[in-house]
Amino acid sequence: MIDVSSPTFWPQLIAVLLEGTWETIYMTAIAMAITFVVGLPLGIILVGTEQGRFLEAPFGSRALGRVINALLGFIVNLGRSVPFIVLMIALIPLTRWLLGSFIGTGPAIVPLTLIAIPFFVRVVEIAVREVDPGLFEAAESLGASRWLLVRRVLLPQATPSILLGTATTITSIINFSAMVGVVGGGGLGNVALTYGMQRYSSIHIIGVVIILFALVQLIQWALTALARQLGAPSTRRGPKKDATADAQAHLDVDLTIPDPRRPTPPSSTS
């Protein structure tokens, strides 16, 4: 049992929380970095290959555009419809093949990344869709190449929205990272699991909650400030929908962690 009066309790608590925090940040940062690098182009391609958009005929082939669009849409929907806990277990063979092991903080990054990418692709998709079609037309009339269009028009206009969506994506990765304790991943979720749930330490739980809250708050604040700096989405056609809110609405995975002391009502009589 936990003994709060023990002289080693507080230093140990701090050490445990610090380690958990570091592991959470580590997992989240790497997962987000990969998600960003993979998800950003995929999101742009997903919108771009729609009919009538700037990538509708990549390499001059309309059919290729349609195939890419349908395929991406399918993968994104598939990824978003699988609950994280199921995905995590389903990915064990892949993780083992990739990293040699599926237990631990490092391997936990694989399912975290794979759940975050479809979510982030939607974030990018919404942000790109918000860009005024007139800007694409203007760029086209100037004889700009697609690459220049993406770099000088699409990205500058979509970046604030994408940053806000990134904050939401990071928050969900942090949420999901709390579950990787199940496959032996570390992080604050694991601290809550091992100290709070298995050893009934409310202090650990409170510590975890405070740190998670502070982390999410900090990320949201920093990215919102950055987004504002880079220019809020244009409001020429009235207030635009908030990409973050939209992405949140698309988030259909249950994040609640069951409370062991107050179990959910049994579905069948035991």
Between 92 and 230, whose beta carbon lies closer to other proteins? Answer: 230
Map residues 164-193 to x or -, x wherever contact with other proteins holds by CB under 8 A: ------------------------------
d(CA 188, CA 191): 5
- Minimum distance from residue 159 beta carbon to other proteins (Å): 7
Q: Which of the ranges 11-19, 109-117, 145-153, 187-195 carries the binding residues for other proteins, by CB under 8 A?
A: 145-153
Please say whether the beta carbons of 133 and 80 come within 8 A: no
- Minimum distance from residue 66 beta carbon to other proteins (Å): 17
* The one among 60, 100, 238, 239 contacting other proteins by CB under 8 A: 60
Residue 159 binds other proteins, judged by CB under 8 A: yes
Residue 138 binds other proteins, judged by CB under 8 A: yes
Residue 224 binds other proteins, judged by CB under 8 A: no
Length of the chain: 270
Residue 132 binds other proteins, judged by CB under 8 A: yes
Reduced to 3 states (helix: H, G, I; strand: E, B; else coil), residue 255 is: coil
CA distances from 259 to 137, 185, 208, 263 (A): 54, 20, 15, 6
Residue 135 binds other proteins, judged by CB under 8 A: yes
d(CA 234, CA 69): 27
d(CA 135, CA 151): 13
**DSSP string of 56-101, one letter each residue:** SSGGG-HHHHHHHHHHHHHHHHHHHHS-HHHHHHHTHHHHHHHHS-
- Which tokens is 153 given? 């028009």
Between 65 and 186, whose beta carbon lies closer to other proteins? Answer: 65
* The one among 11, 93, 134, 260 contacting other proteins by CB under 8 A: 134
Q: How many residues bind other proteins (CB under 8 A)?
A: 24
Residue 152 binds other proteins, judged by CB under 8 A: yes
Give the angle 260-265-268 at the CA atoms, nearest 5°: 120
Please say whether the beta carbons of 247 and 165 come within 8 A: yes
Residue 52 binds other proteins, judged by CB under 8 A: no
Residue 234 binds other proteins, judged by CB under 8 A: yes
- Which tokens is 174 given? 């942090």
* The one among 15, 18, 93, 137 contacting other proteins by CB under 8 A: 137
Q: Which of the ranges 8-16, 21-29, 138-146, 188-196 carries the binding residues for other proteins, by CB under 8 A?
A: 138-146
CA distances from 245 to 128, 159, 166 (A): 15, 16, 12
* The one among 18, 94, 148, 214 contacting other proteins by CB under 8 A: 148
- Locate tokens 């700037």: which residue? 54
Between 35 and 161, whose beta carbon lies closer to other proteins? Answer: 161
Q: Which residues bind other proteins (CB under 8 A)?
A: 60, 132, 134-135, 137-145, 148, 152-153, 156-157, 159-160, 230-231, 234, 236
